[in-house]
């Protein structure tokens, strides 16, 4: 390579490195990536499909229920989160100080198809009084998030895809080569009753039931003790009803009655379809993120434990890695 060619090559590298970052997705991963880039002084913008940010950390408002609960939110995606990494734990402490999150419980019930079978203890789970979406909204409070759907890899920006692989692959087909995760659907059914028909509980892991995997006491989770349950349907059952998710509502009601042992019908219901809800346990990798030329990936699936915390860590680490290249 002569001096002229070396100069051109150097200029190409500089041009590449000077490109700003376009973050696609404003769930916990994209927002965490944006914060890391902002803190490092790297130029970026962040675009989210849909006008509500938060992705799978979603809360749905009750409307037209004819009850005093209109306007109240149910958590329809992530149920709670845990904090084991010290850096994430300090973010959670900040959220707690700001009144956004509260320690919820370390004890859930477990059940089988016949009914509740016992209690199980685990790490502290955190809840958000205003709905779990408020966590992402609070973290993103100083960011400008554009509403829009990224459809292709841009020419003049480095693209950080912060969403599940099946969604990322629509924009960048090679994304599917970068992940081993197998994604499962979940339909989440919110049920509001006229009064509480059950004994105190926070959540129930339902094992070996064909229809239901989890029932949350959304009244305990919100802290208002409203007669509110959220039922997560099994991935097999959900997969059969993705076209018309409301079909599972009667199945969810019957399953809640069967497992929890009460007999009353809800006054308001809502079904939310998550086509790409969670990676199947054991199919994810421990890689924190990927950078492939001008396209990079982050998300909960780049972890052995695909959760809210993993998304935050993956986004933060990708932001730092992109900043190191700049």
Ligand X SMILES: Cc1cc2nc3c(=O)[nH]c(=O)nc-3n(C[C@H](O)[C@H](O)[C@H](O)COP(=O)(O)OP(=O)(O)OC[C@H]3O[C@@H](n4cnc5c(N)ncnc54)[C@H](O)[C@@H]3O)c2cc1C
CA distance linking residue 303 with residue 197, whole number of Å: 39
- For 243-249, the CB contacts below 8 A with 24+ separation are 245/187, 245/271, 245/272, 245/273, 246/271, 248/187, 248/189, 249/189
Site string for ligand X, 205-244 (x = CB under 6 A): ---------------------------x------------
Could you give the strand order of the β-sheet that contains 183-192, starting from the edge strand earlier in sequence? 115-128, 101-112, 203-206, 212-217, 228-233, 183-192, 268-279
Q: According to the binding rule CB under 6 A, does residue 56 interact with ligand X?
A: yes
Q: Which is nearer to ligand X, 165 or 260 (CB)?
A: 165
Q: According to the binding rule CB under 6 A, does residue 303 interact with ligand X?
A: no
Tokens encoding 12: 């190409």
Listed ranges 9-17, 111-119, 250-258, 301-309: which one lies at the site for ligand X (CB under 6 A): 301-309
Cβ-Cβ contacts under 8 Å for 248 (sequence gap 6 or more): 187, 189, 233, 237, 238, 241, 271
Cβ-Cβ contacts under 8 Å for 101 (sequence gap 6 or more): 92, 95, 126, 127, 128, 129, 135
Q: Which is nearer to ligand X, 9 or 176 (CB)?
A: 176
Q: According to the binding rule CB under 6 A, does residue 185 interact with ligand X?
A: no
Q: According to the binding rule CB under 6 A, does residue 19 interact with ligand X?
A: no
The footprint of ligand X on residues 259-278 (CB under 6 A) is 274, 277-278
Q: Which is nearer to ligand X, 12 or 120 (CB)?
A: 120
Q: According to the binding rule CB under 6 A, does residue 27 interact with ligand X?
A: yes
Listed ranges 55-63, 66-74, 95-103, 175-183: which one lies at the site for ligand X (CB under 6 A): 55-63
Q: According to the binding rule CB under 6 A, does residue 47 interact with ligand X?
A: yes
Select the residue interacting with ligand X from 131, 227, 266, 311 (CB under 6 A).
311
| CB-based contact 116:106 (threshold 8 Å) | no
Q: According to the binding rule CB under 6 A, does residue 319 interact with ligand X?
A: no
Q: According to the binding rule CB under 6 A, does residue 279 interact with ligand X?
A: no
Q: Following DSSP, what letter does each residue of 211-240 receive, concatenated?
A: SEEEEEEHHHHHTS--SEEEEEEPHHHHHT
Q: How far is the CB of 127 from ligand X (least distance, A)?
A: 10
CA distance linking residue 162 with residue 308, whole number of Å: 13
Residues making contact with ligand X (CB under 6 A): 24-30, 47-50, 55-57, 77-81, 149-150, 162-164, 167, 171, 186, 188, 232, 274, 277-278, 299-300, 306-308, 311
């Amino acid at each position: 390579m002569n001096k002229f060619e070396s100069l051109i090559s150097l200029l190409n590298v500089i041009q590449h490195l000077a490109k700003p970052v376009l973050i696609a997705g404003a769930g916990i991963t994209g927002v965490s990536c944006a914060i890391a880039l902002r803190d490092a002084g790297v130029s970026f913008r962040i675009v989210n499909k849909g006008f509500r940010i938060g992705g799978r950390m979603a809360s749905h408002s009750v409307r037209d229920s004819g009850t005093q609960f209109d306007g109240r939110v149910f958590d329809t995606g992530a149920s709670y989160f845990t904090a084991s990494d010290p850096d994430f734990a300090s973010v959670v402490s900040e959220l707690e100080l700001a009144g956004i999150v509260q320690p919820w419980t370390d004890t859930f019930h477990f059940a089988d198809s016949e009914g509740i079978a016992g209690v199980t203890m685990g790490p502290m789970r955190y809840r958000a009084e205003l709905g779990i979406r408020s966590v992402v909204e609070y973290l993103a409070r100083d960011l400008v998030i554009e509403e829009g759907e990224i459809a292709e890899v841009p020419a003049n920006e480095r693209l950080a895809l912060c969403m599940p692989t099946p969604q990322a692959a629509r924009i960048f087909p090679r994304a599917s080569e970068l992940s081993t995760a197998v994604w499962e659907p979940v339909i989440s059914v919110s049920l509001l009753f006229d009064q509480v028909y059950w004994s105190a509980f926070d959540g129930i892991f339902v094992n070996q039931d064909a229809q239901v995997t989890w029932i949350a006491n959304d009244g305990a989770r919100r802290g208002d003790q409203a007669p509110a349950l959220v039922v997560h349907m099994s991935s097999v059952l959900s997969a059969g009803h993705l076209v018309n998710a409301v079909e599972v509502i009667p199945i969810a009601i019957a399953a809640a009655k069967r497992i929890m042992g009460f007999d009353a019908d809800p006054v308001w219901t809502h079904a939310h379809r998550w086509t790409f809800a969670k990676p199947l346990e054991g199919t994810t990798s421990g890689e924190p993120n990927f950078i492939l030329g001008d396209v990079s990936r982050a998300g909960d699936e780049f972890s052995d434990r695909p959760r809210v915390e993993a998304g935050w860590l993956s986004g933060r680490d990708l932001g730092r890695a992109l900043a190191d290249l700049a």
